[in-house]
């Protein structure tokens, strides 16, 4: 079984977009703490960077193909395309809000838009996963080698997990106005990130052995 | 991006992408839908593959193609279908139309 094209590679725009936007957001947060730039300016930069990240990842989502495609079953592809469009539109809304709207309103509305998009994406993905679990008979998987599939799945899952984690944390942080609670939330979310990442890694290893 | 625009500029290639929206198809099944020679069809597939718009997989003796469009490429394809399809066909004049179009007329 040979994949002729670059199906094994992550689109560079997705990877560098994620890393670049994350770096910009981190630098803005750090320089704001040191006092080089104002907190409001830092928040705007972080919002814009996250918006761009959402657009880039959303754009690449149908190419990343997070679901194992099955022959004759186009539903996962449709869901991937729909999720991609939804994220791109949400990302554009974030960019516009953080560029033009008053900061308080931008944070609140962006968080609501982000939460809505994330909920719809999560529900549609859970639906596809449940359907794939129960409706297996009669569908033959598009077969590539196990090593190829595992490597691709691990790369895609890691990137998407990190992205969705950042997206969820950003939405929560923008919704929470109390600084003390937001800081505590960050610590708990960071702990949860590593726990969930370890679970994901273990799942990936298990998938590779089968 | 240049490769993507080049790939989307041809109506036959756009029709291939539209057909693949419904699901993966073999090269033979796709070629049957068009009144063009097999080498020409292969060239179209190669252009689409090079642009990263489709992926191919060998299954036994046949090659199965599957769509792999980003959101931007999807939007470009939709724009091309809305605004470019007729213009491109008119400009080409005597080019061979797809069999499906002939049947529709």
Q: What is the pTM of this model?
A: 0.76
Q: Decide if A6 is inside a domain.
A: no
- Using a CB-CB cut-off of 8 Å, the residues of chain A touching B54 are 5
Flag residues of chain B having pLDDT under 50.
Answer: 87-105
Report whether pLDDT(A35) > 60: yes
| A108 close to A93: Cβ distance less than 8 angstroms | no
Q: Are the Cβ atoms of A65 and B70 closer than 8 angstroms?
A: no
Element (H, E) at B50: helix B38-50
So where are chain B's domains? Answer: 2-89
Q: Decide if A39 is inside a domain.
A: yes
- A97 vs A193, residue with greater confidence: A97
Asked whether the CA dihedral A58, A114, A123, A153 is positive or negative, the reply is positive
**Which pLDDT score, from 0 to 100, does residue A97 have?**
95
Number of domains in chain A: 1
Q: Decide if A194 is inside a domain.
A: yes
- B86 vs A37, residue with greater confidence: A37
* Percentage, residues of chain A above pLDDT 90: 20
Residue A210 in tokens: 């089968």
Nearest Cβ partner of B71 from A4, A58, A73?
A58
**Per-chain mean pLDDT for chain A:** 78
Report whether pLDDT(A102) > 90: yes
**Which pLDDT score, from 0 to 100, does residue B97 have?**
46
- A118 vs A172, residue with greater confidence: A118
Q: Of A122, A111, A116, which Cα lies nearest the Cα of A51? A: A111
**Which pLDDT score, from 0 to 100, does residue B81 have?**
78
Please check whether residue A140 touches B, CB under 8 A.
no
Task: Name which of A40-44, A96-100, A186-190, B37-41 the model is least confident about.
Answer: A186-190
Q: Decide if A204 is inside a domain.
A: yes
Chain B residues with a Cβ under 8 Å from any Cβ in chain A: 21-24, 49, 52, 54-59, 64, 66-72, 74
**Which pLDDT score, from 0 to 100, does residue A92 have?**
96
Please check whether residue A178 touches B, CB under 8 A.
no
**Which pLDDT score, from 0 to 100, does residue A95 have?**
95
- Using a CB-CB cut-off of 8 Å, the residues of chain B touching A141 are none
Q: Decide if A82 is inside a domain.
A: yes
Q: Which domain holds residue A61?
A: 11-209
Q: Give me the half-sphere count of Cα atoms (radius 13 Å) on the Cβ side of residue A26.
A: 7
The reply to whether CATH 1.10.10.10 applies to domain B2-89 is yes
């Amino acid at each position: 079984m040979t994949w002729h094209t670059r199906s094994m590679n992550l689109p560079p725009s997705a990877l560098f977009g994620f890393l670049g936007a994350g770096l910009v957001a981190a630098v803005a947060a750090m320089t704001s703490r040191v006092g080089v730039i104002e907190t409001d300016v830092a928040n705007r930069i972080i919002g814009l960077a996250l918006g761009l990240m959402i657009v880039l990842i959303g754009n690449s989502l149908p190419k990343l193909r997070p679901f194992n495609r099955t022959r004759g079953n186009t539903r996962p592809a449709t869901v991937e395309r729909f999720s991609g469009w939804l994220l791109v539109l949400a990302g554009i809304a974030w960019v516009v809000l953080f560029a033009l709207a008053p900061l308080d309103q931008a944070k609140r509305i962006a968080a609501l838009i982000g939460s809505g998009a994330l909920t719809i994406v999560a529900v549609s993905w859970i639906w596809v996963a449940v359907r794939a679990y129960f409706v297996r008979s009669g569908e033959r998987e598009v077969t590539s080698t196990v090593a190829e599939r595992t490597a691709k799945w691990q790369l895609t899952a890691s990137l998407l997990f990190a992205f969705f984690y950042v997206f969820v944390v950003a939405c929560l942080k923008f919704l929470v106005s109390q600084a003390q609670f937001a800081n505590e939330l960050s610590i708990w979310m960071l702990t949860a990130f590593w726990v969930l990442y370890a679970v994901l890694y273990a799942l990936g290893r298990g998938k590779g052995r089968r | 991006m240049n490769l993507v625009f080049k790939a989307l500029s041809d109506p036959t290639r756009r029709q291939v992408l539209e057909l693949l929206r419904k699901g993966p198809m073999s090269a033979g099944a796709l070629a049957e839908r068009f009144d063009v020679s097999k080498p020409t069809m292969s060239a179209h597939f190669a252009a689409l593959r090079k642009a990263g718009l489709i992926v191919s997989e060998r299954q036994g003796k046949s090659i199965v193609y599957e769509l792999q469009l980003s959101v931007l490429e999807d939007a470009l394809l939709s724009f091309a279908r809305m605004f470019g399809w007729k213009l491109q066909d008119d400009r080409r004049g005597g080019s061979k139309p797809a069999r499906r179009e002939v049947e529709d007329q």
